Amino acid sequence: MWRQHDFKHTWSRQPRPLVERFWEKVDVRGPDDCWPWMAALNGQGYGNLGSGDGKTLRANRVSYELAYGPIEPGHMVCHRCDNPACVNPTHLYAASQANNLRDMAEKGRSTRGERSASAKLNDAAVAIIRSATIKQNMLAKNFGVSPMAISLAKRGLTWRHV
């Protein structure tokens, strides 16, 4: 009588090199054009690529490292073209978080305040909240946010630009 485990076969397929898997997912266009990532994108529009060992890598970071080498600790890969799906190495540069935030603000891409997709308040509401004399719990109920959100906005710890 045979037992199933007697016939167990272990497959040992070697994963293809990362560089090979990367380039087959890129729509390479002209040298100055964006090269869109043609595979999985995350919620912010950045390309995702499996590392081969169970991790997910950002496609723009892989592109940068293939072209320029390792990313300096504390730096991120940013886009000159402001297109998160672009992996053209000439459109990418490494910068600190502070430099990236400064670049976003200079280009008018900051997502603070009512421009943020998660904002439940707007500038006018915050102005009302700051001038209101009623209890914060009532304000929270009226604006559909938590009392903590009211407290932070009222004290200027959030919505600083208002």
Give yes or no: residues 63 and 135 share one domain: no
pLDDT tens digits, one per residue of 21-73: 999 999 999 999 999 999 999 988 999 999 888 899 999 999 999 999 999 99
Query: Whole-angstrom Cα distance, residue 92 to residue 13?
Result: 34
The per-residue pLDDT for 100 is: 86
Give percent of the chain above pLDDT 90: 49
Q: Which helix (H) or strand (E) holds 56?
A: strand 56-58
Query: Among the three residues 75, 92, 110, which one is the final residue of a domain in this structure?
Result: 110
The per-residue pLDDT for 15 is: 76
Neighbours of 3 (CB within 10 A): 7
- What 3-state DSSP class applies to 3? coil
Is the pLDDT at 103 greater than 70, yes or no?
Answer: yes
Query: Among the three residues 89, 110, 131, which one is the final residue of a domain in this structure?
Result: 110
- What 3-state DSSP class applies to 58? strand
Q: Is the pTM of this model over 0.75?
A: no
Q: Is residue 60 situated within a structural domain?
A: yes
Is the pLDDT at 7 greater than 60, yes or no?
Answer: no
Give yes or no: residues 126 and 139 share one domain: yes
- Give the lowest-confidence range in 28-37, 80-89, 106-115, 152-161: 106-115
Which residues are within 8 A (CB) of 10 and not within 5 positions of it... i.e. 6 or more apart?
none
DSSP readout, 75-133? Answer: EEEEESS--TTB--GGGEEEEEHHHHHHHHHHTT----GGGSTT----HHHHHHHHH--
The per-residue pLDDT for 116 is: 65
Q: Is residue 8 situated within a structural domain?
A: no
The per-residue pLDDT for 64 is: 98
Give yes or no: residues 22 and 81 share one domain: yes
Q: Is residue 160 situated within a structural domain?
A: no
Is the pLDDT at 83 greater than 70, yes or no?
Answer: yes
Is the pLDDT at 146 greater than 80, yes or no?
Answer: yes
Q: Is residue 144 situated within a structural domain?
A: yes
Give yes or no: residues 99 and 118 share one domain: no
Give yes or no: residues 37 and 92 share one domain: yes
Q: Is residue 149 situated within a structural domain?
A: yes
Residue 158's pLDDT band, with cuts at 50, 70 and 90, is confident
Q: Is residue 13 situated within a structural domain?
A: no
Domain of residue 145, residue span = 114-154
Neighbours of 114 (CB within 10 A): 15
Query: Whole-angstrom Cα distance, residue 147 to residue 153?
Result: 10
Give yes or no: residues 144 and 96 share one domain: no
Give yes or no: residues 28 and 101 share one domain: yes
Q: What total number of domains does the chain contain?
A: 2
Query: Whole-angstrom Cα distance, residue 101 to residue 81?
Result: 15
The per-residue pLDDT for 11 is: 58
CATH of the domain at 95: 3.90.75.20
Q: In terms of C-beta density within 10 A (0-12 exposed, 13-18 middle, 19 or more buried), how is residue 48 classed?
A: middle
Q: Is residue 30 situated within a structural domain?
A: yes
Q: Is residue 118 situated within a structural domain?
A: yes
